[in-house]
Structures are given as structure tokens and as C-alpha cells.
Chain A
Amino acid sequence: MTGISKEFPGVRALDNVDFRMFPGEVHALMGENGAGKSTLIKVLTGVYGIDAGTVVLQDRQVNFHAPLQAQQAGVSTVYQEVNLCANLSVAENIFLGRQPRKLGRIQWSAMNKRAAELLQRLELSIDVTRQLSTYSLAVQQMVAIARAIDIDAKVLILDEPTSSLDAGEVAQLFRVIRQLKSDGVAVLFVTHFLDQVYEISDRITVLRNGRLVGEYRTADLPQLELVSLMIGKEMAALEQLDEQPKRQVAALESGQPFIEARGLGRKGVVTPFDMTIHPGEVVGLAGLLGSGRTETARLFFGADRADQGQTLVNGAPVAIRGPMTAMSKAIAFCSENRRTEGLIGELTVRENIVLALQATRGWARPLSRRRQDELVDKYVKALQIRPANPEMQVRNLSGGNQQKVLLARWLITEPRLLILDEPTRGIDVGAKAEIQKLVVELSDGGMAVLFISAELEEVLRLSHKIAVLRDRRIVAELVNDDTVDADRIMSAIASAGRADENLEVTA
């Protein structure tokens, strides 16, 4: 693939990207969320057409207009979510649409035999006549792969195949990948797990913001460098927030913490952790996508229930059973998914802003319309929500303004702990800077803030303390003084994998 560009309305998803794959090699495609990985895959498999550039498959220029064309040319894809029919048998799934037939009749025994042989190649001996849903996710994944390689695949694309597998299942999958590699198949592997990239891949291509950062041999690229390539540092130049005289963390931490987590965790989601957040303190959560940042924050708010450990608010243990309990303790949570978990698109700006406050009062004690208008007016002005029309449906606002509406909803509840999950994602630079400034002002005013962002620079600029996550575990907690910079955080992310159990830094 050379010079691939793909534009969506308003976004340049891929900008002149080159990408190559070799037979018998595993190629990892890396990049943060929104870097263009999935767009590239979809271009390669014919889901999207391309605006510019060429795709060459075995010396022949191809132009796929539909997934079926790509499949026929030998490009098979296994998507993150297994897309098979759970109610059909394993063999039926493998041969769906291509059942061996004789005079229009399906030859069941031939089909089952071939299915069994195929799975044998993947070192999997299961009863192929049983319903697919009776097998584990890992087996289903294998079946999906079996289906993909039976279409005489020259190129196999695995999009996040390991996200739902446990360690043993991953090992089994990797055995299969190695076998395919030795058969001369070119494998494209997408994952967020760095360890797996280093275990299986021969070559790495890094994308950032739709641009090619570079292609590297895995052996020549240290983990630390990979992380910094993926995250990039150009954001720092974009915005300058006046360098705050960093308040002394020691002074902040002298008082009683507002909230304290002791061994808080949720099985299979967040490894138990300890954390304290003091009034006026901004604690940043840093880590790559899928490292458990959001999941950690959700436990504080009760969006998911913790099944281990306890939470203390102002020194007293509190069982946070759900958002209502958290809100009664003045905890607020702005979700990263504004549309699905934050705003009610159909309701107006005003209604969205007063929603949480009204919820705490119950339905029987409505806020008077005048009070609503006062509050909404104040926050529309203070946060500069545009257009300044409280009666507009919130879904018609731009991303940045929607984010401000969500912020306003929580600010009028006067929280003492504000959890911000990716508050600046997908919004323009101006709105981003405003929100960052707001975080500083709020914490100066004594509010405790838990701040999550994929952008390290942003976390560094705003936080007093940074907890670093990797693989759903807090691997380091750093006091954000002069010695801490992006490199130090990245090295914490990278080294935690290597040292694993030994390195649980608590600085």
C-alpha cells in the first residue's frame, strides 16, 4: 500500500500512508485511538474505498470495492468482535455460504470432515457438529480464524484478537499465528497490549493522527521508544497554559484526604489499588488505551461496583453502591462517552445541565424554572457554551460545547471530587485550553479532581500526582515534580511489563 489517503467529512483519517506486508511475517500496526488503524484495515479489506494511493497485492494492483472482493483476492479478516453465528454448528460456521454441495444438497459428512481437518491444522480437536455457542470465546476466535484461512488466505488481518482471551488462550492463538507464518501467510496484528506485540511481531508500523510515523523492525525498536512514537509530543507546542507555580504536594497532602481507596478493585477489570485524593489536588491517570484508566475511575463513582476493598470519604468508610451514593457524597463523573453515557441528545441544553441536580432532589422537588434559568445562564456564560441558547437540543451542539454542557451539569451540583474522563478528547484546541484552565481554577478553589487523558502532556500539565496504569493495574504513582516528564511516565509504562511483579513503584 503506498500513499494511501482517506478523507471523511471534516477529518483526514489517513494522510499519505505507506504500508507493506511480507509473506511469512507478522506485522503489528500500532497507534493510539483515532490514529487511523481501523481505517487502514478497512481500506485494505475493501470496506472503504480510497481517495488516493494504490494497493498492490503480489505485484498486481488491486482496488477493492467490497469486502467480498478482498476475500476472493486472499485478504481475510478476523474482527475484534467474533462475527459468527452462535446458533450454528462449528462446521456450518466455517463453511457458511460455501458449503460443499452435490446436486444442490449439502454434503454434511464431507463438510464436517473438512472442518475437523482444518481445525486440526490449528491444533484444535473439537466436535465440529456442536453449536458454536457451547465453546469458549477463545475457541470461537479459532473458528473465525479457521474460516478466514480456509478462504486460501495470503493476508490474514487480526484486529484486536486477544482482547477477550486469557493468557493461556493467547498462547494458543500465538502458536497458530506462528504456524501460519511458517506457511507463508502475511499476518497483520492489531492490539493494545505491548507485550504481545514484542512476543509475536517481526515488524511494527506506527500511525499517529492518520499519518505514518514509521516502519521499524521489532528487534530494533525498544518499548520505550514505541510508546513515545505512538503518543507523540506535538501537543505541547499547541497550547501553552501559563506554567503554574506547582503547589506543594506535601502541603496539600498534610490534611485529611477527601477520598481514599483501600485495595479497591473489581475482578477481571481493575486490579486492587490504593489511592488518595486530597481537596485541591489533581490526580492524573496515565496509561495507554485499554490500560484500565476509565475502569478505575468508574469504581470511585459507583458506575461499576467494586467487589474488593473499600472507599473512605472524609475518613469514613462509604459503600458506594451506585451513582446515587457517590453523588450524595459530592462526587461527580464526566464520562468519556459523551453521547452514550453522558448527554441525553434529545433534551435541551438547559435540561441536560439541570439533570443531575434535579436527580439528587428527586422528582417531587422540581427546581423552579427561574432557578433553572439562573443556573443555566450562569454556566452557559462562564463556560462560554456556544450557541448560547439553552433551549437548543444538545445533540446539535459541537463536541466541545457538548463537553462543556456535561461539565456544567456536574459543576452545578457543587461536587467536592470531580472525575473527568477524557474531557478534551475530540474537541478543538480552543475548547481544550478552556477546559484545562477550568480544571486549574477548580482545584485552586479546593475541589479534588481525578483527571484522565490519553495525552500525557495534558496529564503532566494539570496533575499534582500521577498514577500510571498498565494492563489494568496501577504500576506507579509519581509526585509530579520537576523530575517527572513524559519520558519518565513512558519508562514506567514500558518497564512495568519487563520487570512485572518486582516493580511496584510507589514514589
Chain B
Amino acid sequence: MSERVKAVVGNRLFWPVLALVLLLVSNLFFSRDFFSLEVRDGHLYGSIIDILRNGAPLILVATGMTVVIATGGIDLSVGAIVAIVGGLACYHISTQPDQNSLSGVITAVLMGIGLALVLGLWNGILVAGIGIQPIIATLILMVAGRGLAQMITDDQIITIRSPNYKFIGAGHLFTVPFAILVALLVVLLAVLLTRRTALGMLLESVGGNAEASRLAGIRARRITIMVYVFCGLCAGIAGLMISADVSSADGTRAGLWIELDAILAVVIGGTSLLGGRFSIAGTVLGALIIQTLTTTILTIGVPSDATLLFKALVVTIVCLLQSPQFRAKFIRRRRPPVPPPATPAETPKVEVPA
């Protein structure tokens, strides 16, 4: 293997990129025009755009999840936050005399985002302030939050008629779906915040070794709280996006299991669940892989009752490919039968030319 190939393969984004490309290309066999893009009525259309647009909420949630996981934590409550924020925004709009009034929509969005920040702060305080294990601390909001969302929506699906609100999830700006732009913006913001400031390094330090970080003078507590607040914010925006897309809020089903997809995206992206080094780009790739898989299942026509099993199978393969230990073991297992018999066989061979 040449040095350059080694460098490419050694890059930790190599395997996720490879998996995504393979998934995308495999669609070509089932749908010829999979990669084609067209502009209709000033809007960009195509399978790739669909993947991006449908994947936008997951990308958002997974980005927030990445920074939480980098500190060695986890946030199980993001699905509940999605439901609560969507519910609150839709409820507020539904109480307005004119559901499409711009001021009503803006207040709804601000209320939703404000609540998301508060919920994130709650998680952060439970984890960093009180010292509850992250998985338990966020489990509280995961369960209680569902109940809260159902209370807000009165356990019904709130349907609204507000094109202005719908724009967040289904609108287009400069021919591109607005949801994609929002996700892109948040991802860029996260990358800038972590890589252009020292935040990323401090996060990785806290996640890598909390006690050593404390003794190096890092205010780990403050950073941890910030991270949960950011994760709440990301989930809140995703909540607005999901409810706007369908113009309704469903406290029971909105964002259900999205926390698991988000964690999966983070893991596929190469960030360790133990904390430390993280990669937002990897997470975005992971989220796209999951979304592409969902789309692929539809295009190749896997029977609906086999969908989950198929998905699980592909994800397992991707994760195994990702693991250096597995690759090492796999390669070793294919090779070892060779050397032991080779040694005695070689000895006479040496003697002949000598």
C-alpha cells in the first residue's frame, strides 16, 4: 500500500464516507435517475435533496448529541424535547386568531427555542450541577418530557394551518429546501464554535480525563452545562422543523426514538461513546448514512415488515467496518493459517540455492 493510500484509508472519516458512497451507488441499480436533480417551479428536486431534507432533523439532533457524547455524557431526552417544542409552537399558533400571522409564528418559534434552552439547562444542571449519571439524568426528561408534550397537546394531534410556520420544515429558499439550510447553519455554527474557539479542545479534554482536566484548571462543570444546553437547542430546532413539515404536533410520536438514531449517527461518525475526540463531520455523515438507508429501503422495495431487520443488518455491518479491532481480527483470521506450515516448508528451500 502506498503512503497516500494508507493516509486516505487511515483517515477516520474514510469508512463512513465509503459506506455512504456504497449505499448511494447501490440505489442506482434500482432507480436509474437516483442522482438526477431538477428545478421545478424554482425548487430543487431529486432523491439526494430528499435525503438531505428528510435527514435535516436527525443531523441537527445528532450534532448536539456529538458534543454531549464528547464530554463522556449522553442525552436520551432529545426525542422528548422534539415533541415538547413542536407541541408548544403548534399549540401557540393554534390559539392565534390568525394562524398565519408572522408575529404569532415568530413568537411560537421563540417560545419553542426558549423552552428547548431551558430543558437543556435542566439536563446540564442535573448532570454537572448535581452529579447524576448522564444516562439517568436525561432519562428523567425522556420519560417525563413525553408526558409534558402530551399535556401541552392535550393528548391529541394539534393540526394548524399556517404556511408561514410550514416554511420552516417544507419551504424553499434560493431554490434549496429551508430545512437543509437551517441544518447546515447549525452544523457550521457547531464546527466554528468548537474548532475556531478552544471549546473543542476543552471538551475533548474533559471527556478524555475529567480529573486531569480539573487539575489543569478547566471549568468542566460550566462546559458540561453549556453542552447540554446546545444539545437541547439542536433538538428544539429539530422539533420545530418536524412539526412544521407536517403542520401538526403529535406529543406521542414526534421525535420518537430519534435519540437512538442520533446516538447511532454519532457512533458511525467515529466518536467514541466513552468521550474525548469527536467529529461533527463524521456525525453528519453518520446521519446521512441512516437517512440514505431509510430512503434505500423504500427504493429497493424491502417488504415493510422486514424494514427494521434490514436496517439493523446494514448498520451492524457499517459499525463493524468502522471498528479497527474488528478489521484487524478479520484480516488476521484470514491470514494466520499460512505462517505455521510455511516455516518448516521454507527451511529446505533455503538449502537448495545455498
Contact = CB atoms under 8 A, between A and B. Distances in A.
A137 to B, nearest CB: 24
A366 B194 CA distance: 10
A374 interface: no
Given A324-B219, A346-B204, A409-B216, A358 B198 contact: yes
A167 interface: no
Contacts of B205: 344, 347, 351, 355
B196 A303 contact: no
Interface string A352-373: 0011101111111111000000
A249 to B, nearest CB: 30
A333 B215 contact: yes
**Most chain A beta-carbon neighbours within 10 Å: one of B199, B215, B219:** B215
A343 interface: yes
Contacts of B201: 347, 351, 354-355, 358
Give the interface residue-count category, chain B: 20 to 34
A359 B215 CA distance: 10
A409 B212 CA distance: 12
Given A361-B198, A363-B198, A344 B209 contact: yes
A153 B116 CA distance: 63
A301 B196 CA distance: 31
Contact of A366 (B196, B211, B276): B196
Contact of B212 (A327, A341, A366): A341
A356 B211 contact: no
Nearest to B195: A366
Secondary structure of the B contact surface, majority rule: helix
Contacts of A303: 215
B320 to A, nearest CB: 23
A344 B212 contact: yes
Contacts of B209: 340, 343-345
A342 B210 CA distance: 10
Contacts of A341: 211-212, 215
Contacts of B202: 358-359, 363
B215 A366 contact: no
A323 interface: yes
Contacts of B214: 322-323
Contacts of A209: none
Contacts of A361: 198
Contacts of A362: 198
A274 B89 CA distance: 62
Interface in A296-315: 301, 303
A218 interface: no
9 contacts: A340-B211, A342-B212, A343-B209, A344-B208, A344-B212, A355-B201, A360-B217, A363-B197, A363-B199
Interface of B: 196-199, 201-202, 204-205, 208-209, 211-219, 223, 276-277
Interface of A: 301, 303, 322-324, 327, 333, 335, 340-347, 351, 354-356, 358-367, 409
